[in-house]
Amino acid sequence: MQEDNLKEIVENILNREWTESEKIKSGYFDDYNNILKTKRTIDEYSNDNKILYLSNNMTEVIAGGDTQKLLRLDENNIAKIPVIKFPNHFLMNNYEGDIERSVEIWRELGFNVPEHIFYYVNFEDKIRVDKTKKNSGDKPRLAITPDLSENNKYSITTYHPSIAMKLANAGHIINEYQEGFQKIKDIEANPTTYQLEAFGHVDMNGSKDKAIRHMFLVQIDKKNKTGKLYLGDVDHLLIYK
């Protein structure tokens, strides 16, 4: 991963979007207040924060839902950007908790987690992304990580038994998933060394099962119909010591 080159690509994309969002900030901010049920003015918000809106038609977006967008940076790497959805755009958001340490712990526990490098988005004379926060206020964050599709060589999907059953190595993938799922459930049941905190995908009864399931991704070889399991959606469930 050529970190400096990837940082420069991300900065160019975000600076382009920042320039555009500054032109139409007033209209977007009305949406912000309406959806988040606030009555703040742009000046009040900007005293502590900077606003970065991402347009719906960004050419770099390759996937994502209402809370996260995936941006292609080059043939091998993507950026994960947490967002808040608005009617005609997205507001760049922040990751919850100590997500860097959480990723480290998942890997220490033996889960197959892709490399993630997390950055703060610092607003200076222009946007710069750094591993440290340069000044006070709420700072958006993003992650740079390898593209598991390897530029569309593989398809990537959330694990589901119906998908796993169609794979040539179905038995291996299903067993690996079941072992991983149970390992996390055992941690949840015995929170002496580790504690879990879910963000989204929590049932009405407080169950974290859906959040756990959404973490597992399958990389599928389109030609050979074989799969490889990853713990890839690392923002759904954080783990702490």
Contact of 202 with 35, CB cutoff 8 Å: no
Low-confidence ranges of the chain (pLDDT < 50): 42-48
Contact of 237 with 198, CB cutoff 8 Å: yes
Q: What is the pLDDT of residue 92?
A: 86
Which tens digits make up the pLDDT trace of 205-224? Answer: 668 899 899 999 999 999 99
pTM: predicted TM-score of the whole model, two decimal places = 0.84
